[in-house]
């Protein structure tokens, strides 16, 4: 059975709608109190590779629940007054996630071109990840 829209089409559609920041643009936002970096990779990826300093970890599977203030799982890191900069390993998951957050009504969502891989390749700062209790 052929799918109506495969992952390539879903990603292309998301990329067409979501603001994509170059690594340099994203690095310039690091430390800005109005910006929240959101790492949507899986825990094993963070443990293995580290993360952007100060990034909030929101595994893709819980994202919609953590964003919605009506959800019992809501996290204040998703303040609609903040600019959210999402990233994953290569910008596929982050494009899909950012499109979902736009669909949910968050006004200022973007993602990093090339994801964490591009961030590291460009010499962006990385810190070890430690699970927060």
State in words which class domain 17-121 has.
Answer: alpha beta
Q: What is the pLDDT of residue 132?
A: 67
- Taking the CA atoms of 34, 108, 30 and 52 in sequence, report the sign of the dihedral they define: positive
Q: Where are the alpha helices (DSSP H) in 1-133?
A: 7-17, 23-29, 43-49, 63-67, 92-104, 115-121
Q: How far is residue 33's CA from residue 43's CA, in Å, rounded to a whole number?
A: 25
Tokens read off for 64: 């919609």
DSSP one-letter code for 123: T
pTM confidence score: 0.94
State how far the alpha carbon of 4 is from the alpha carbons of 7, 10, 17, 101, in Å.
10, 10, 19, 23
Tens place of pLDDT per residue across the chain (133 aa): 788 989 999 999 999 999 999 999 999 999 999 999 999 999 999 999 999 999 999 988 899 999 999 999 999 999 999 999 999 999 999 999 999 999 999 999 999 999 999 999 999 999 998 876 4
Is residue 2 helix, strand or coil? coil
- The two beta strands, 109-112 and 56-57, are unpaired
């Amino acid at each position: 059975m052929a799918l109506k829209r495969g992952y390539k089409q879903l990603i292309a559609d998301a990329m067409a709608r979501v603001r994509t920041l170059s690594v340099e643009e994203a690095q310039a936002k690091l430390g800005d109190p109005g910006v929240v970096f959101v790492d949507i990779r899986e825990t094993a990826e963070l443990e293995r590779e580290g993360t952007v300093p100060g990034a909030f970890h929101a595994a893709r599977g819980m994202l919609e629940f953590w964003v919605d203030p009506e959800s019992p799982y809501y996290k204040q890191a998703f303040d609609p007054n903040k600019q959210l900069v999402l990233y994953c390993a290569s910008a596929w998951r982050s494009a899909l996630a950012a499109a979902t957050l736009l669909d949910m009504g968050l006004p200022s969502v973007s993602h990093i071109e090339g994801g964490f891989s591009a961030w590291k390749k460009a010499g962006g700062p990385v810190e070890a990840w430690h699970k927060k209790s």
